[in-house]
């Protein structure tokens, strides 16, 4: 790959108390409504945790509880005296001050920092030249996400809570974030659909489901199979409505409807498989070209960097297509197809 303008690292936290944060039989939710119950967690430096679960299962509720944004509805949440939380969530993009610059946002965190130091720091997040001195209002979603991450990093947290951090980020920023997270000495709790980021940065999986938060014994592939199996069981467990015994005509109609229902799912699965095969072939071609010694005869050529970028992009596309395939396969199984 050509050198990326984005490169940053987490500065060493000022303190690393042990433990950092403890949840003991905690309930979490909104108002009187409990979303999660009986949560037990001991968060220590070096922990690398990913929260898994369906949308609406309570992952963001768990993150907000850890962040102290919401208070426990029961049990105890105990913070270390020197706890320093860095919390990133998508809603923070909307909380940036439109008329303020990136440098202004840094100065709000530390009034003593000089403009040059602020600009040097922001340069690692891709805000080069005068971009750091321009109002953030016209910034793209990716630029705003980079700035919010920069503000999180600047605070030197010892607990890092990331809720879907890569939604607006390009490949360079995703790679820089993964590298920085692997060198982070505090505790990380991550919610992400980006399976590559989870694989790279997390070694503990917690499953949020049915009002509980519990360890998941397995990897992400096991989790995909768990979801497919669960959905199939749920579909099979649905009670059939009381009705008259089906006639042969009803049976034929039922089978025809099932074929109609699953046809789009089969087509989607076949489309993903074709795209996956094409992308894997392109990735092999790029890797074969990169392995040719003659490619490196001309050091001024941009071809090496182009091929490296292509290979990295194909790898990301393959990761995404594999996730889509697993979801489509699970949907097909839950629809009752053989």
- In our burial notation (b when 16+ CB lie closer than 10 A, e otherwise), range 287-311 reads eebeeeeeeeeeeeeeebeebebbb
User: Which tens digit of pLDDT belongs to each residue from 114-145?
Assistant: 999 999 999 999 998 899 999 999 999 999 99
- From 23, 4, 27, 144, select the one nearest 88 (Cα to Cα): 144
- Cβ within 8 Å of residue 233, ≥6 positions away: none
Nearest to 168 by CA among 234, 89, 246: 89
Express each pLDDT in 313-332 by its tens digit.
887 887 787 777 777 766 76
pLDDT (average), residues 92-101: 94
**Phi, then psi, of 24 in degrees rounded to 5:** -125, 105
| C-alpha to C-alpha distance for 291 and 288, rounded to whole angstroms | 5
**Is pLDDT of 186 > 70?**
yes
Which residues contact residue 107 at a Cβ distance below 8 angstroms, ignoring those fewer than 6 apart? 113, 118
Q: Say whether pLDDT at 99 is over 70.
A: yes
| pTM beyond 0.75 | no
- Map tokens 């076949």 to a residue: 270
The strand order across the sheet containing 33-43 reads 33-43, 21-30, 74-79
Q: Is the pLDDT of residue 253 over 70?
A: no
Percent of the chain whose pLDDT exceeds 70: 86
pLDDT at 1: 44
* The CA-based dihedral angle spanning residues 241, 244, 247, 253, taken in that order and rounded to the nearest 10 degrees: -30
Q: Which of 190, 201, 204 is closest to 159 using CA atoms?
A: 190
Among 71-85, 228-242, 310-324, the minimum mean pLDDT is found in 228-242
Rounded to an integer, the average pLDDT of 46-58 is 92
What pLDDT, on the 0 to 100 scale, is given for residue 284?
84
Residue 250 — pLDDT band, cuts 50, 70, 90? low
* C-alpha 229 chain-centroid distance: 23
pLDDT at 288: 86
Question: Looking at residues 74-103, what average pLDDT do you find?
Answer: 94
pLDDT band of residue 338 (cuts 50, 70, 90) is very low
* Buried residues in 89-126 as b, exposed as e (16+ CB within 10 A): bbebbeebeeeebbbbbbbeeeeeeeeeebbebbbbbb
Task: Report whether 47 contacts 158 (CB < 8 A).
Answer: no
Q: How many residues does the chain have?
A: 338
CA distances from 28 to 40, 50, 69, 212, 233 (A): 12, 18, 11, 10, 28
The residue ranking higher by pLDDT, 41 or 325, is 41
What's the token pair of residue 318? 């393959």
The mean predicted confidence, pLDDT, of the chain is 86
Residue 337 pLDDT class (50, 70, 90 cuts): very low
Tell me what pLDDT residue 198 has.
94
């Amino acid at each position: 790959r050509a050198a990326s303008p984005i490169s940053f690292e987490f500065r060493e936290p000022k303190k690393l108390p042990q433990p950092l944060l403890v949840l003991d039989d905690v309930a979490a939710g909104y108002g009187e409504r409990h979303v999660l119950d009986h949560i037990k967690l001991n968060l220590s430096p070096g922990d690398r945790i990913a929260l898994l679960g369906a949308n609406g299962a309570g992952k963001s509720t768990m993150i907000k509880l850890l962040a102290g944004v919401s208070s426990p509805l029961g049990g105890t949440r105990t913070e270390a005296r020197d706890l320093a939380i860095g919390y990133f969530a998508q809603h923070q993009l909307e909380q940036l001050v439109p008329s303020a610059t990136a440098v202004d946002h840094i100065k709000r965190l530390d009034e003593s920092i000089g403009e040059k130091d602020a600009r040097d720091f922001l340069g690692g997040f891709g805000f080069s030249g005068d971009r750091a001195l321009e109002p953030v209002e016209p910034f793209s979603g990716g630029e705003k996400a980079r700035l919010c991450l920069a503000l999180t990093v600047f605070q030197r947290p010892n607990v890092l809570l990331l809720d879907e951090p890569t939604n607006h980020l390009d490949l360079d920023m995703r790679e820089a974030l993964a590298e920085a997270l692997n060198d982070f000495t505090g505790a990380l709790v991550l919610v992400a659909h980006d399976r590559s980021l989870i694989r790279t940065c997390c070694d503990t999986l917690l499953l949020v489901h049915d009002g509980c938060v519990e360890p998941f014994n397995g990897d992400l592939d096991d989790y995909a199979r768990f979801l497919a199996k669960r959905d199939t069981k749920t579909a099979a467990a649905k009670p059939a409505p009381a009705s008259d015994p089906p006639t042969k005509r009803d049976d034929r109609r039922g089978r025809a409807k099932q074929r109609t229902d699953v046809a789009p799912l089969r087509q989607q699965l076949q489309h993903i498989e074709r795209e996956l095969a094409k992308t894997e072939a392109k990735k092999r071609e790029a890797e074969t070209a990169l392995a040719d010694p003659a490619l490196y005869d001309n050091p001024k050529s941009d071809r090496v960097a182009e091929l490296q970028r292509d290979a990295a992009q194909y790898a990301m596309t393959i990761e995404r297509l594999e996730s889509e395939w697993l979801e489509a396969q699970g949907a097909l199984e839950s629809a009752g197809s053989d």
